[in-house]
Amino acid sequence: MSNPEWQQLVLQGIGRRVEVMAELSPRAYLLLTAVFAVTGYVCLLLFPLLFLTSVAGLYHSLTYFPYVSWLQLLAWTIMVGSCGLVSYRIIQFRPLLPAGVVLERGQSCALFQLVEDTAAEYACPAIDRIVITGAYQLDIIKTPCSALPVGSTHSLVIGLPLMQCLSMERFSCLLARRLGQFSKRTNPLLNWLFELREIWPHYRLPDVGTDFGFLPVHGLFLLYAPLYKAVSTPAARLDELQADSYAMDLYCDEEVVDTITTDTVYRLFLREKYLPAIRKLGAQEAAAITKTNTGMMTVLHAGLQADTIGQWIEKAMSMEQPWDDPGPLLARRLYNLGHTHAHMDTHMTVSAAEDYLAALRPDLKAALEGMPPPEYPRVPPWSVRIAGLKRKVQSAIHGWRAGVAG
């Protein structure tokens, strides 16, 4: 049995047990997961704290004259040097921003306006950049501006295929769902645990492991990041359910049910039909993977005709929950919204890409084929940080008032 297979079996065993615990005792599970999430901060602060401790020990050894222990002095000196090097590399470390084509406001004023208006409805922190990728996705990714995940750059990552496949109404509903989730009005703990699932893996990337000074931290997160993902998966599902509830603030039941059903069916089709074909094609021609991603809409709509959509909906409703999938099953999502039946309108209106990226699509497709290198986040100015803090306070007050009123 290979090493990755052995690790996967261990993580699967942990994930299954955590699922049982989350069902039997949700509060105890969330408490233990929060404590485990703090362990990541401890891993980052461990070597700076050891450096300060070793400096104090070295000073004590030098000043405890005349009984100087040279062996102890040597040990403290090695500790100061090694921990100082690791601490220095931690200070220099900068996680990479999500890769993709960064959209400028002048390229799509309507899309930026939609994002800003929707964000204002939920009083959520500002989006710093909109990134277009070749995958079917819509996510908000926080990238720390320093090694310690405190201040972050907020990237709205939108897949061009998603905008091509979804109507403007469905795309707007998914956007509201994600921005509402990001506002943390009623889900601060869950969303914090959810966001760390994308942050901790930064410290275990292969190129980070080549840095000798950062190697100890890389080794810690090589073990910790996969464990955290396995432990936090039930919490991530709860946060995704909260996101569905946020969408109900701006859209009616039928629109939300139609949107999440469509999104679930599309993702299921891509995972079980489309991606296996892409991998097979990519084995013959590597460049075909990128080119086919930007043409995903044609394949998806050709495979999901009116006579086959019902079968895919039934399959999505009867699926079993994979242990490592942070997305809850469609049946559970509908039950969370007070519904038992899925609904998906087969009539396709104008796609979101035609409405917001009509003039840019040819250029975006070409740009996505030659994906630009990732960038490092920049520390936002103090005015932006204060404005973001103000929005967070307003969101917290709004959530508290809503809870009192309820």
Is residue 23 in some structural domain?
no
Classify residue 343: in a domain, yes or no: yes
Give the pLDDT score at 67.
Answer: 67
Q: How many domains does the chain have?
A: 1
Residue 80 corresponds to which tokens in the numbers above?
């100061």
The whole-angstrom separation of Cα 243 and Cα 245 is 5
Q: Residue 53 gets which letter from DSSP?
A: H
The helix (run of H) or strand (run of E) holding residue 102 is strand 101-103
Residues 6 or more apart from 1 whose CB is under 8 A from it? none
What pLDDT is attached to residue 1? 46
Structure tokens at 121: 């409805």
Whether residue 188 lies inside any domain: the answer is yes
Which pLDDT tens digits describe the chain residue by residue (406 residues)? 445 677 888 899 999 999 999 999 999 999 999 999 999 999 999 999 999 999 998 888 777 656 667 788 888 889 999 999 999 988 888 888 888 888 988 888 999 999 999 999 999 888 999 999 888 899 999 998 888 888 889 999 998 888 988 999 999 999 999 999 999 988 999 999 999 999 999 998 877 767 788 889 989 999 999 999 999 999 999 999 999 999 999 999 999 999 999 999 989 988 888 877 777 766 665 555 555 555 667 777 777 777 788 889 999 999 999 999 999 999 999 999 999 899 888 776 778 888 888 777 677 767 676 554 444 444 455 455 555 556 666 666 666 666 556 5
Answer yes or no: is 147 within a domain: yes
Query: Considering the domain boundaries, does residue 11 fall inside one?
Result: no
In a domain, 40, yes or no: no
In the prediction, which pLDDT does 50 show? 94
The pLDDT, as a whole number, for residue 69 is 73
Q: Which amino acid is at 305?
A: Q
Q: Determine whether 105 is exposed, middle or buried from the number of CB atoms within 10 Å of its CB (0-12, 13-18, 19+).
A: exposed
Give domain status of residue 232, yes or no: yes
Could you give the C-alpha distances from 36 to 41, 339, 376, in angstroms and in order? 10, 34, 27
Indicate the DSSP class of residue 274: I
Domain span including residue 187: 101-405
Cα distance between residue 63 and residue 57, in whole Å: 10
Q: What is the pLDDT of residue 338?
A: 92
Let me know if residue 28 belongs to a domain.
Answer: no
Predicted local distance difference test score (pLDDT) of residue 94: 85
pLDDT of residue 391: 65
Task: Give the strands of the sheet with 138-144, arranged side by side.
Answer: 101-103, 129-133, 152-159, 138-144
Q: What pLDDT sits at residue 269? A: 87
Residue 227 CA: distances (Å) to CA of 51, 176, 219, 222, 361: 27, 31, 13, 9, 39
pLDDT at 6: 78
pLDDT at position 373, please? 45
How far apart CA 393 and CA 188 sit, in angstroms, is 12
